[in-house]
Amino acid sequence: MKKLKIFIACDTSSVTKVKKIISQTQSSKIKIGYKFGLEFMNSKNGRKFISKLKNKTIFVDLKLNDTVNTMVSTIKTLKDLKINYLTVHISSGLTALKAVKKVSGSIKIIGVTTLTSLDSQDLKLIGYNKSVKKLVIHQTKLAKKAALDALVCSPYEVTAVRKIFKKEIITPGVQLGKRNYDQKRSMEAKQVKSDWLVIGRAITKGNIKKNIQNLTKELR
């Protein structure tokens, strides 16, 4: 059986909290990586902590979306951290995506499609005329053209994305039981068929060890 792979979203600015998450989420049954977003990376000691992490799969979720020069420069400043994955918004454009990929070195570049906190109505409000699914498919084709290493999409687009993009697919908007927090396009973990699941509060809130045990049971 293929080993389950999960990125645990460390959505905090506290190094102490992250240390607790890491220490209580060791598992021989699940391959676990750790996702750090803007909150932790911009905290007083976040970057320093990540620079000292060893033997962990590290996913830095910055969702870069800027001019080509700024994105390229940012990636160069991250290389000393020895991270494994980094997110960029596909909406930054094909030229930026290709430039980022060119300088990424050993960092796997993940293209972010449409945020799982958005639905079709939200897209209309910000000026998109396509449905979520059509927009994600369009974004996936751009990611493929740019030769990105992985792609983020919601559980509902995995099947359509898989037909186009043959590399790693990473899926947030994953819930345990009926809890979906602020996600609009979410699905229960056992139903999601991507390469990596991203799960945050469902694991890190409350009894972390027990949550990991429950997750393992639910996904088996």
Q: Are 217 and 188 in contact (CB under 8 A)?
A: no
Distance CA 125, CA 114 (A): 14
Q: Are 40 and 29 in contact (CB under 8 A)?
A: no
Which residue is associated with the tokens 């509060």? 201
Distance CA 162, CA 168 (A): 9
Q: Are 133 and 156 in contact (CB under 8 A)?
A: yes
- Looking at residue 10, the DSSP 8-state letter turns out to be -
Residue positions annotated with a catalytic role = 63
Per DSSP, helices labelled H in 104-207 are: 120-125, 132-145, 158-164, 201-204
